[in-house]
Structure formats: structure tokens, C-alpha cells
Amino acid sequence: MMNTVDIDWKNLGFNYIKTDQRYISYWKAGSWDEGTLSEDNQVHISEGSTALHYGQTVFEGMKAYRTKDGSINLFRADQNAERMQRSCRRLMMPTIPTDVFIEAVRKVVKANEKYIPPYGTGGSLYLRPYMIGIGDNIGVKPAEEYLFSIFCMPVGAYFKGGLTPSNFVVSDYDRAAGNGTGAAKVGGNYGGSLLPGAEAHKRNFSDAIYLDPTTHTKIEEVGAANFFGITEDNKFVTPLSPSILPSITKYSLLYLASERLGLDVVEREVFIDRLDEFKEAGACGTAAVISPIGGIQYKEEFHVFYSETETGPVTKKLYDELTGIQYGDIEAPEGWIIKV
């Protein structure tokens, strides 16, 4: 049964909204408990929690979509589960098995079904799984107790009036260290990105672009999204580096570029002084799917790709293909959609 909820679906942004139920599970003495749904959105933890002092915290971001026939799609949730396992191992935290993770996501989506934006509004139910080290600790060592939770909220279409390019500026700051935690979705990577992000905004750019921390010559990330470019000879190119967070959206676009659009695809270095090899460029991630890049400011130079106001045709095709799959309008590659 679907109750209704008083939300202006067309004007939803990306803001915290308290929904009815969240999944909570505790790890103690070497194992996870059963896990429950809770109405309480407050987390009560020890002042000695490692999450508070030493950044023992990982998270994920994913979405559930209402389809035309009224069913609910999860997009590649197994990939989020596996990435979270890799993040946990990097921070010496216990892992959540993929089947437990997906079942918990299902429970949260079902319990908050009335918050899923209707098909056609461009909205979706954003899910935020996270794990934190808790318990009474003080030394720099892994916690002995952990909390795993998933909460959710309705979010609106990132672009209300269709895809719109925006401009980015190359930051002097590094996002991650060369052999650090850049490839893991860990809380510590994001606190440090707030200042470069704010400085970019102050200069009227959408976000900061980070170069590789070792040589500062190659693009790594666009804010908290991955970079891709379409070359003049129609190759889909995306940077390869051990300090980039492997975006599920990016690898999905890479597959679709190859299998559905017939482009050559390559993961390789993208030099910041060779932007002229691309006729289109974009940032990709769960939140916006694709955010077309109008131009990039690097030192004194401003490089425009396709246009500062219009989205290039390849970027548009990739966006339509991927969002069509997520909302169930286009047939998905094997295993990409899990029904709730």
C-alpha cells in the first residue's frame, strides 16, 4: 500500500529530508547482529568512537528509481556493495556481504516507498549507506565495534531544464595522496575538499578539478565526480590513476560508449595541457549522472570544449542511454538492474 506524502516533486533539490525508516546494524565481538529498521534518525555513540577522531568512516551513494510500470529499480547495487567492501578493507573495518547489503537496501526502499519520486519527475530516492567505528577507544587503532546504516531521502533531478554545461577550475590543492586513500570512499577525503570547493565557488566555478598528486600534470577528479572526454576522433577517454575513486557511473558510461554507441574507449592519462584533444567533456557520478563541462580554467588559460551553453551530442546520447536504463525505459545490460 502506498501512502502519500506532501512533497513538491518537481522542485526537489539535494537536501536532507528525514524519511520514516533507516537500517541499523551493529558489529560486536566479531560479527554483525541481525539488523533492524529504526524510526530514530539520531545516532548515539561513544565519545571514544574512532569515526570522530581518526576518520574510521566509509560511505556509499546510490539511487532507487520509480519506473513507468510502477516498479522500483536499483542500479548496480552490487557494485556499491563491493566498493564499500574495498573501502572498509582500506580502513581495517569489517565488511558487509553483498547479499546482506542489497537486502538492507531493499528493506529501506520498501519502508520508505512513499518517498520515491514518481516516474517522469526526474527525481529518485537517494540512498546513503555508511559505516563508522564506534565504542570506547582512544589509541590510534581499529575500533572493536562498528555501526552500519542506510538512510534515504527523495532528491530532485540535478538539471531541472535539461543538461546544462558548467565551468570548472583546476585547484592547487590535492584531493588525495599518491598512495593514500583516494580510491576509497572514506570520509577523510571529503573534509579536505571543502576549502578547494569553496574557493572554486567564490570564483564562480562549479567545483575544483584535482590533478594527480605526484606530478600535477594530469586530471584526476572533478569535485566528487570522475572526468571523461570525447576526442576529436570519437574515443571515450577517462583518466587512469590509483588515487581516483572508481565511479560506477563512469564504468557504466564507458561500457555503453563501447557497446551501444560504438566508440573506442580508453582509460589512460589525461594531461591538463592537452585539453584540445577533446571535443566534449563531462563529470560523472550518481548525483548528476553527467555534468557537461563547458570550460576548464587552468592557471591563466580558459579552455572551452563543445560550448559553454550547450551540451555536445555524444554527452547527450550517453546521458539519455544511462538514465533510460535507470528508469527502466531502455533495456539494461545483464545484471545492471535489481528490482526492489
Ligand X SMILES: *Cc1c(COP(=O)(O)O)cnc(C)c1O
Pick the binder of ligand X from 104, 105, 208, 224 (CB under 6 A): 224
Spell out, one character per residue from 280 to 309, where the chain touches ligand X: x when CB under 6 A holds, - when not: -----xx-----------------------
Single out the residue of 77, 137, 90, 101 nearest to residue 25, CA to CA. 101
Asked about 185 being catalytic, the answer comes back as yes
Q: Which stretch binds ligand X (CB under 6 A): 91-99, 147-155, 241-249, 270-278?
A: 241-249
User: Would you say 167 or 249 has its CB closer to ligand X?
Assistant: 249
Rank residues 176 and 314 by Cβ distance to ligand X and give the closer one.
176
Q: Give the single-character DSSP code of 334.
A: T
The site map against ligand X for 247-276 (x = CB under 6 A) is xxxx--------------------------
CA dist 75 and 83 (Å) reads 14
Q: Which stretch binds ligand X (CB under 6 A): 38-46, 67-75, 223-231, 265-273?
A: 223-231
Q: Which stretch binds ligand X (CB under 6 A): 50-58, 154-162, 221-229, 234-242?
A: 221-229
Strands (E) located in the chain: 22-28, 31-32, 36-38, 57-59, 62-66, 72-75, 124-134, 145-155, 166-170, 207-211, 219-222, 225-231, 235-238, 264-267, 278-285, 289-298, 301-304, 337-339
In the range 59-78, which residues lie near ligand X by CB under 6 A?
Answer: 61
Q: Evaluate whether 50 touches 93 at the Cβ level (below 8 Å).
A: no
Measure Cα distances from 311 to 25, 68, 284 in Å.
43, 26, 14
Q: Does 150 bind ligand X (CB under 6 A)?
A: no
The rounded distance, in Å, linking the Cα atoms of 225 and 250 is: 9
Yes or no: say if 229 and 281 are a contact pair by the CB < 8 Å rule: yes
Minimum separation from the CB atom of position 28 to ligand X (A):
29
**Which of residues 129 and 135 has its CB atom nearest to ligand X in the complex?**
129
Catalytic residues: 185
Binding positions for ligand X, rule: CB under 6 A: 61, 185, 221, 224-226, 245, 247-250, 285-286
